[in-house]
Amino acid sequence: MSLARKAMIDSQLRTSGVNEPFVLARMGSVARENFVPEGVRSIAYMDRAIPLGEGRFLAAPLVHGMMLAEARPGLDDGVLVVESGSSYLAELVRPLAGKLETMSVEEALENKRGRKGFSLVMIDGAIEQLPDTLAKRIEEGGRIVTGLVLRGVTRLATGRKTGGNVALQPLAEIGIPVLHSFDRPKEWSF
């Protein structure tokens, strides 16, 4: 493990309560610098989001650590990762899940036919609303882990599909890059 990854684990994850062995092992073995543009590789382990260009970001290590700890993907899970442009989260999940598929934010919003029945959906960013096109891909009883924007503040959130509906429960305030494609339509109010 590189010194930078060890420092990330010791000074960012462990000190913030992310101590699950499987999370630390995955984050210690996947080189974040391979998922960012060459010009920002030297800051790949800093405790902030890394710009990827075109309005996309690689979330801070703590965000991914908390998401992975909350999701707890298992070999019996069919996992869908909605990518924000880096593929880092998918690489963290890959050996932990039975099946893994990825799609872009744009693909998640399209109403195209595709696989449904995922037991776990992870969205690599913060959303204001979960579109029906994505909620339909979650199997009954399946779970979701995402960032959620509430009144301008981003939070880690989790949910479960019950009775055909998905309700998100905010867990912890944390800086998560916002995926503006999932913003609510703006409305007038008095």
CA neighbor of 163 nearest in space, from 139, 144, 146: 139
User: Each residue of 12-42: b (16+ CB within 10 Å) or e?
Assistant: bbeeeebeeeebbebbeebbbbebbeeeeee
DSSP 60: P
* CATH number of the domain where residue 148 is located: 3.40.50.150
CA neighbor of 150 nearest in space, from 187, 117, 109, 178: 178
On the question of pLDDT at 188 being above 70, the answer is no
pLDDT value of residue 115: 78
Each residue's pLDDT tens digit, 9-56? 999 999 999 999 999 999 999 999 999 999 999 999 999 999 998 889
Contact 22, 13 (CB under 8 A): no
Domain that holds residue 129: 3-182
- Measured distance CA(169)–CA(55) in Å, rounded: 27
When pLDDT is cut at 50, 70 and 90, the band that residue 114 belongs to is confident
Domain count, the chain: 1
Residue 100 within a domain: yes
